Amino acid sequence: MTRMKSILIPIDFSEYAKTAMQSGIALAKKTGAEIFLLHVFSAPLDWNRISVARQQDYPENEARMVEAEIKMDQLIKDKSFNGVKVTTFVRPGRVMEEVLSMSKLYRVDLIIMGAHGVGESHRYFIGSHAQKIMRTSPCPVLSVKKDFKPTSIKRIVFAADFEENLTKPFNKFIPFLKATGASVTLLFVNTPSHFKDTPTVTKAMQKLIEAYPEVKIKGEVYNAFDAEKGMLTFAENNKVDIITKVTGNRSRRVAYDFGITEALLYKSNVPVLSVVVD
């Protein structure tokens, strides 16, 4: 199984982002992965290409950059980073574009972002970008709530519609699964509007189970009137630590998948790991 080598964490210095950072540190210590901390500040896209003298003509942008660099230096001095390789980046631009650009450039294995829940908000909240990033990221995106404790991840659900070949998204998921050492439950939520008989779903699940004999996997078909609520209820009843959702790319989203990942991200009490189907 492929080992996790790098983790990208967008940082806006909120409590949500700090939780994401601690989650990344916990995984890095288990896998030896390098952590990339990225802060994106508002400035012209060519900011890094203009001279220092010209940058001083825009004191508000320079102030944002310097403040972020100081905060980054303070962050990585925390003793929790002991034994972890970490590289920091402070870049101008748009969060989504910079996160996706860096994830491709460095072939990142996992992005970890903070995510708020019902009734929560933050003016620096990086999670407002999570929805867009999780729909287009080339690697899995783990969205965590600010109270998440990453020390013990034992049960993971891998939810999908099992209509297409899931080998590629599951391969993306494997490094994270290996890093946590958790067991995984393949989950199909059977609804009246998207009904499948159990033998058909079980056959599709069995293909994945047989393809990965080294992983502890079981399959479950759960009946519910609504796919989103079914996933949330199943996770709650089975004390699931992370919900993994196979997510359709924005350019080819199917009806069954519409909005479910975003709803899980917002409503779930546990982290959501999104894996895009290309």
**How many Å apart are CA 106 and CA 92, to the nearest integer?**
18
Closest CA to 185 of 260, 148, 240: 240
Q: What does CATH list as the number for 6-144?
A: 3.40.50.620
Q: 152-208, pLDDT tens digit by residue? A: 789 999 998 888 778 888 989 998 988 888 999 999 999 998 888 999 999 999 988
Which two tokens mark 194? 């998207």
pTM: 0.87
**How many Å apart are CA 96 and CA 100, to the nearest integer?**
6
CA atoms within 13 A on the CB side of 263: 11
10 sits in the region (left: phi over 0; alpha: psi -120 to 50; else beta) called beta
Which two tokens mark 98? 């910079």
Which CATH architecture describes the domain 155-277? 3-Layer(aba) Sandwich (3.40)
| Residue bearing tokens 């998921």 | 173
Q: 110-161, pLDDT tens digit by residue? A: 999 987 644 445 444 344 577 778 878 889 999 888 778 777 789 999 998 8
Of the pLDDT bands very low, low, confident and very high (cuts 50, 70, 90), residue 252 is: very low
Give start-end residues of each CATH 3.40.50.620 domain in the chain.
6-144, 155-277
CB–CB of 106/6 below 8 Å?
yes
Continuous segment of H or E residues that includes residue 3:
none
The residues pairing with 239 across neighbouring beta strands, listed in sequence order, are: none
H helices, E strands: number in the chain: 9, 10
**How many Å apart are CA 156 and CA 164, to the nearest integer?**
21
Of the pLDDT bands very low, low, confident and very high (cuts 50, 70, 90), residue 256 is: very low
Q: What are phi and psi of 173, to 5 degrees?
A: -80, -25
* For helices 167-180 and 198-211, angle between their N-to-C axes, nearest 10 degrees: 60
